[in-house]
Amino acid sequence: MVADRLSTTFAALADPTRRAILGRLSRGETSVMELAKPFKMSLPAISKHLKVLERAKLIVRSREAQWRPCRLHPEPLKDIAQWIEHYRRFWEESFDRLEVYLEQLQAREKKDARNK
Amino acid sequence: MVADRLSTTFAALADPTRRAILGRLSRGETSVMELAKPFKMSLPAISKHLKVLERAKLIVRSREAQWRPCRLHPEPLKDIAQWIEHYRRFWEESFDRLEVYLEQLQAREKKDARNK
C-alpha cells in the first residue's frame, strides 16, 4: 500500500533526530558531515534519517556540488499546517473558556473584597 | 525507550483512518459504534486506532456514560501547530519569491505589448 502524502510527512516528523535535522537546516543548507556532528550517531544512521526526510520531500539534496548539500523543502510542512488549521478553534475555544472563568473569578474576588 | 510527546503525536497522525476519526470528532463527541460506521473495518481494528489516539492524548474517552463517548482533545495538536510555526517563514518566503517573479513577468509582458 502506498502511504498517502500527509501520512508520509507525519511519519517522517515522528522522530526527534529528524526534527533536529530540519531545525539545523532552517538555519541554512549544509553537508551530511555537518548535519551529523551534533548527534552521537554513525554517518550511516544519519543517512537513513536523511533518506526518510528526502522521501517525504522535507529536504532536497543538491546533485550539483560534490558535497551534495541538504536543503529544507518546506512545502509538506505547509500542507500539515493547513490540515491542523481546521482544529485551531478547538484549542482556542478552550483557552477562551479559561479566560472567561478567570474573569468571573476576578469579579467575584473584587465583590467579596468590597463586602468585607 | 519512551518516545517524546511530539513524536507520539506525529506518529498517531500518520494514518488516514486516525485523521478521519479526529475529523469526525471535530463535529462532536460520539460512540465507538458511530465512529466505526464510515470505515470498512472491524470494531477491534477501530478500537486499536482509538487506543493509539488515546495514548497520544488526541482523544479522551468518557468513563461516566456506559457508551463511553469519545471526545477530541486538541492540546497535542496545538503543540504541533506551535512547532510548525517556526517553519512558516520558509513557505511564505518561497510564495513571496513566486509573487515577485509573476509581477516581473506581468510588467515585462505589458512592456512588450506597448512596444509592438
pLDDT tens track for A50-107: 999 999 999 999 887 778 899 999 999 999 999 999 999 998 876 677 677 778 878 8
How many residue pairs bridge chain A and chain B with CB atoms within 8 Å of each other? 78
Instruction: With beta carbons less than 8 A apart as the criterion, state whether B26 and B71 touch.
Output: no
Which 8-state DSSP code applies to residue A6?
H
- Chain A residue numbers touching B74 (CB-CB < 8 A): 87, 90-91, 94
Q: Could you tell me how far CA B37 lies from the centroid of its own chain?
A: 21
| Closest to A11 measured CA to CA, from A60, A103, A105, A76 | A76
- Chain B residue numbers touching A96 (CB-CB < 8 A): none
Q: From CA B86, how far away is CA A27, in angstroms rounded?
A: 11
Distances (CA, A) of A63 to A31, A68, A107, B21, B95: 12, 6, 65, 41, 24
- B57 Rama class: left (phi>0) / alpha (psi -120 to 50) / beta: left
Q: From CA A52, how far away is CA A14, in angstroms rounded?
A: 11
Decide if the complex's ipTM is over 0.85: no
For the entire predicted model, the pTM comes to 0.80
Would you call A7 and B14 a contact, using CB atoms and an 8 Å cutoff?
Answer: yes
